[in-house]
Structure 1
């Protein structure tokens, strides 16, 4: 057994439990949806998934901390600074509209560093996972995963570029640089939420950028992308998730060779 093998096995079990709940509620006629204080939606599936994950972690990892989107933070009771970070359903707006691009995101952090990530998208029949020193994999489940690797595209003119909503980039004051990247790359699409990062890790696209995320949106993505050979920073060029353990984050993920130019195009060159 290697460094994070036990934790990866637990993450898969957490995802299995989450998938059983979320898949049963997807497109359910009696799905309950409410608006949170920030006016984003939350469904009964979001809360049920997080409660199930919290209960299992309390049983299997009672000393670890936990941060979840719906129920907040539970500090670590044991030493070592280990903390699980969970987004029970990333892509809730898709989920409540019947769009199958949504997933449960599970990360393990040591201090502020994500060392393990798992993304499970049951409506797509696909799961991605990775841990430091373990590599990155994708498949329908833990037993049928295959290694994944980022692309080798070396020029923006040949790159497939993925972005989040343009309104977010407008709010960040970076709409024009993003539009110019769209013009200068081979192809541009907004696949949204976790999905662009996972396509990047598989080598299906080459750059994914997002101006504003919460820790639970990004923590699970980092080990998967980096273990697949990619580069993942914030807009300032700091290793993601930049900005500490809480608050708002940004993301620039790439296959590596394109990273410096993308950061320069967005007007925030890499930190030295």
Structure 2
């Protein structure tokens, strides 16, 4: 299967590390011009340089702005007026007892995890529809379906993302634009390493800590390991291509079998 995204521009929110960076690298490897986004210039520059080093001839645009604000989206539009591919990856998560999550924290999670994606979609979808081609992906989570008791505010925000994705897919019906969610399972990133050590013995070596975390807190996983970011990126690259032209309004799983369901 050959995926050629030459001539396409892709904006990936929150893409200086982890899943976002892996997606940006994967899209660049398929020929897309990629827009790297983060709040801190140093991190954006480092990520962009890493892609240019890894992918010969990569065309990378550096976008330093807080995409979770209206001002940040306006800045994005001023630098990159239109895109062919939008990947809503930006998100925050953290452990918190359900009864201790404040109103302010609930609102922050929805602002960053949901409304940032809504604003970007509102900003870029109309031009895609007019052009008759576009790809939008929302990076959701198994936590959208299996709400974790240790961070229900995160899980519920990802549930909302599934609904947002389906709704915008209907808004784009018949235009040549596809809109999908990607349900990512427990994934190995630096942030997740910190999260794992909040739940297991901090003295354990990483390999043991990972196995203990999966055994105690994610026993439904069928691969019995954390997923690597590149494995998430592979699916997003496919969904961003012309090969996925009949896949829209879907919640596509790359979760290692974590969600116990025979349906996608």
Instruction: Give TM-score, length-normalised by structure 1.
Output: 0.28
Larger RCO (CA within 8 A; separation ≥ 6): 2
Instruction: Say which structure is richer in helix.
Output: 2
Instruction: Give TM-score, length-normalised by structure 2.
Output: 0.29
